[in-house]
Amino acid sequence: MLYQVTFPVRYYEADPMGIVHHSEYIRYFEIARDTWLKSVGFDHKKCMEENLVFPVVSIHCDYKISAKFGQDVTVTAEITEFTGATVTFHQQVLDPHGNVCADGEVKLAFINTKLGHVVRCPESLRATFDGKY
Amino acid sequence: MLYQVTFPVRYYEADPMGIVHHSEYIRYFEIARDTWLKSVGFDHKKCMEENLVFPVVSIHCDYKISAKFGQDVTVTAEITEFTGATVTFHQQVLDPHGNVCADGEVKLAFINTKLGHVVRCPESLRATFDGKY
Amino acid sequence: MLYQVTFPVRYYEADPMGIVHHSEYIRYFEIARDTWLKSVGFDHKKCMEENLVFPVVSIHCDYKISAKFGQDVTVTAEITEFTGATVTFHQQVLDPHGNVCADGEVKLAFINTKLGHVVRCPESLRATFDGKY
Amino acid sequence: MLYQVTFPVRYYEADPMGIVHHSEYIRYFEIARDTWLKSVGFDHKKCMEENLVFPVVSIHCDYKISAKFGQDVTVTAEITEFTGATVTFHQQVLDPHGNVCADGEVKLAFINTKLGHVVRCPESLRATFDGKY
């Protein structure tokens, strides 16, 4: 699956160079993952019921060209690896012309907030990731 | 006119209490104003062509109930006064049940970036504000 | 008492006009209040022990001149009213020349997170506010 | 050289898990780089005079343990490579006990804003990077 969501750049996300600050792409990546999770039935309410959060283990991002205020951005999320202990997404931020602004990889783990430590992906979520890449 | 735009709360906008940080409502207000300006043909590109920016002169905001991650918010913008030198918006943030989370008033001025100082609202924009309240 | 704290403007806080975004002054105000609370022995750990949080009830802010990246800002906090149910701060953001960039008023209430509702200011904190204005 | 700067975590930087949001470490890295540049005489004013900005080319960050509101963080910056076309920093965020919260690598290029494109590191800045690693 390749999930994508499109939204406008916000004014305060642009820096004195007039371009989106590099930290905002990291946030855009999260928005795409959260929107996708919600679309497959794993919204915030369900995560809380399952005492589940997804800490970021590592991030890599290559910055290509700059998104600007006044433009929409399209942010993609695609699962490239699922081990049971971690899930890895390939993610991109694209400008309205389809140019790649940022190209990244984000690895997440699973924490059970009741147990207070890292766990293997719970059964209820496993089906969501399995066969999705 | 009463303009409104709806979008999901972002995870990073929520604070350790699990609720949207009070500074984010101020940003939500700006998003609604910018989206409205774009919808009436005064997008960022046009503002740059006209060397026009809208500095915030004053803000007032009463906080009622808290928006949360996992919810959509609807943000309104309504012009309540236009003097030629300033324009004032009444703005609200509403949760999905229509409850008012924040109720604010934002006054803006007009700066010509080429001249480098405050100016009266240019003719091209005046029609947009006149008769809109 | 007039409390003040000085720190540098951060790059990402400045917007495409090269000036600090108006929402950031609202955050600067909070930083000054939190730093003051810590200095009088009411740090985050103590607040958690007392199940105490301080929701913002209302904010007013007049924007005068712009702070810029490359400058330090000094942020003040002074209690102007304490009713037992709410505490009100007068706050300013000053540039390195002592010019007032923003002049605001912030009213806070007291919530007991265990009870889940607004309470009167607990005895332990009352002495901190009493006679401070 | 190993440069470091210490400052308190801000309340709004913490997310609903009560920990610093992963995007904020990326911003902490920038703060340490900017503070270091200023300390060696290359502050924002000088960069503007030289028409010089430092776009981020790539970022990698491994997240170890979480920084929390109520704590100070120490952020380090150390140059590990300088090619003339790019400069690479190794950076860490440490909690008050010296534990590594985040361990990252940030590669920057040099843009001349007057020319509008990437340039080799100007002579005036070269001495700052040469022999610093």
Q: At what angle do helices A22-39 and D22-39 cross, to 10 degrees?
A: 180
Residue D1: its pLDDT value, please?
75
More confidently predicted of A116 and C22: C22
Nearest CA in chain A to D117: A65
Q: Which residues of C belong to the active site?
A: 15
Percent of chain C with pLDDT over 70: 98
**Lowest mean pLDDT: which of B35-44, B100-109, C7-16, D64-73?**
B35-44
pLDDT higher than 90, residue A41: no
Cα separation, B13 vs D37, in Å, equals 30
CB of A63 closer than 8 Å to CB of A24 = no
Interface test with B, best of D10, D15, D26 (most B CBs within 10 A): D15
pLDDT higher than 70, residue C115: yes
- Mean pLDDT value of segment B85-112: 97
Hey, are the CB atoms on B60 and C63 less than 8 Å from each other?
no
Interface test with A, best of B6, B10, B47 (most A CBs within 10 A): B10
Hey, are the CB atoms on B12 and D15 less than 8 Å from each other?
yes
- ∠ CA B53-C58-C12, nearest 5°, is 45
- Mean pLDDT value of segment B82-110: 97
- Mean pLDDT value of segment C48-59: 94
**Per-residue pLDDT tens digits for D40-61:** 888 888 998 999 999 999 999 9
Binning pLDDT at 50, 70 and 90, where does residue D31 land? very high
Q: Is the backbone of residue C19 left (phi > 0), alpha (psi -120 to 50) or beta? A: beta
- Mean pLDDT value of segment B30-58: 93
Nearest CA in chain C to A69: C16
Query: Residue D27: helix, strand or coil by DSSP?
Result: helix
**Per-residue pLDDT tens digits for A62-116:** 999 999 999 999 999 999 999 999 999 999 999 999 999 999 999 999 999 999 8
Mean pLDDT score across all residues of chain B? 94
State the DSSP string of chain C.
--EEEEEEPPGGGB-TTSBB-HHHHHHHHHHHHHHHHHHTT--HHHHHHTTEE--EEEEEEEE-S--BTTSEEEEEEEEEEE-SSEEEEEEEEE-TTS-EEEEEEEEEEEEETTTTEEEPPPHHHHHHHTT--
Q: Which CATH class is domain A3-128?
A: alpha beta
Cα separation, C111 vs C31, in Å, equals 19
Set of chain A residues whose Cβ sits within 8 Å of the Cβ of D53: 17
Mean pLDDT score across all residues of chain A? 94
Q: Which of A24, A57, A61 sits opposite D63 (nearest CB)?
A: A57
Percent of chain C with pLDDT over 90: 79
Residue B131: its pLDDT value, please?
67
ipTM passes above 0.85: yes
Residue A133: its pLDDT value, please?
57
- Mean pLDDT value of segment C49-71: 95
Residue B133: its pLDDT value, please?
57
Q: Which of B6, B25, B14, B38 is nearest to B91 (CA)?
A: B25
Residue A132: its pLDDT value, please?
65
Q: Which of A7, A27, A70 sits opposite B44 (nearest CB)?
A: A70
Set of chain D residues whose Cβ sits within 8 Å of the Cβ of B21: 11-12
**Lowest mean pLDDT: which of B117-126, C59-68, C72-81?**
B117-126
Residue C1: its pLDDT value, please?
75
Burial of B114 (0-12, 13-18, 19+ CB in 10 A): exposed
> Residue C15: which residues within 8 A CB-CB, separation 6 or more?
A11, A12, A14, A15, A16, C21
Residues of B with CB under 8 A from a CB of D: 11-12, 14-18, 21, 23, 69
Residue A29: its pLDDT value, please?
98
Hey, are the CB atoms on B14 and D15 less than 8 Å from each other?
yes
Q: Which of C30, C34, C70 sits opposite D43 (nearest CB)?
A: C70
> Residue C32: which residues within 8 A CB-CB, separation 6 or more?
C3, C4, C5, C75, C76, C77, C91
> Residue B129: which residues within 8 A CB-CB, separation 6 or more?
B79, B82, B87, B121
Four-residue CA torsion sign, B20, B26, B27, B28:
positive
Q: Which of A126, A124, A89, A130 is nearest to A107 (CA)?
A: A89
Q: Which of B59, B62, B63 sits opposite C22 (nearest CB)?
A: B59
DSSP state of D20: B
- Mean pLDDT value of segment D61-89: 96
Q: Which of A30, A59, A62 sits opposite D61 (nearest CB)?
A: A59
DSSP state of B106: E
B3-129 fold: Thiol Ester Dehydrase; Chain A (3.10.129)
Residue B128: its pLDDT value, please?
83
Query: Residue D18: helix, strand or coil by DSSP?
Result: coil
CB-side exposure of D109: number of CA atoms within 13 Å?
17
Q: Which of D125, D93, D119, D97 is nearest to D106 (CA)?
A: D93
3-state secondary structure B11-40: HHHECCCCEECHHHHHHHHHHHHHHHHHHC
**Lowest mean pLDDT: which of B20-24, B51-55, C106-110?**
B51-55
CB of B91 closer than 8 Å to CB of B30 = no
Residue B66: its pLDDT value, please?
95
Q: Closest Cα of chain B to D25: distance in Å? A: 13
pLDDT higher than 80, residue C63: yes
Residue A129: its pLDDT value, please?
84
Active-site residue, from D15, D34, D62, D103: D15
Cα separation, A51 vs A113, in Å, equals 5
Number of neighbours of residue C88 by Cβ within 10 angstroms: 17
Cα separation, A12 vs C13, in Å, equals 8
Cα separation, D34 vs B10, in Å, equals 28
Residue C133: its pLDDT value, please?
57
Residues of C with CB under 8 A from a CB of A: 11-12, 14-18, 21, 23, 69
Interface test with C, best of A12, A23, A24, A26 (most C CBs within 10 A): A12
Cα separation, C93 vs D84, in Å, equals 40
- Mean pLDDT value of segment A23-50: 94
Number of neighbours of residue B53 by Cβ within 10 angstroms: 17
**Amino acid at position C59, single letter:** I
Cα separation, B58 vs C62, in Å, equals 4
Residue carrying structure tokens 């002049």: C103
Cα separation, A72 vs B7, in Å, equals 14
Binning pLDDT at 50, 70 and 90, where does residue A124 land? confident
- Mean pLDDT value of segment A112-124: 91
Strand partners, C112: C52, C117
Residue D92: its pLDDT value, please?
98
Strand partners, D111: D53, D118
- Mean pLDDT value of segment C32-37: 96
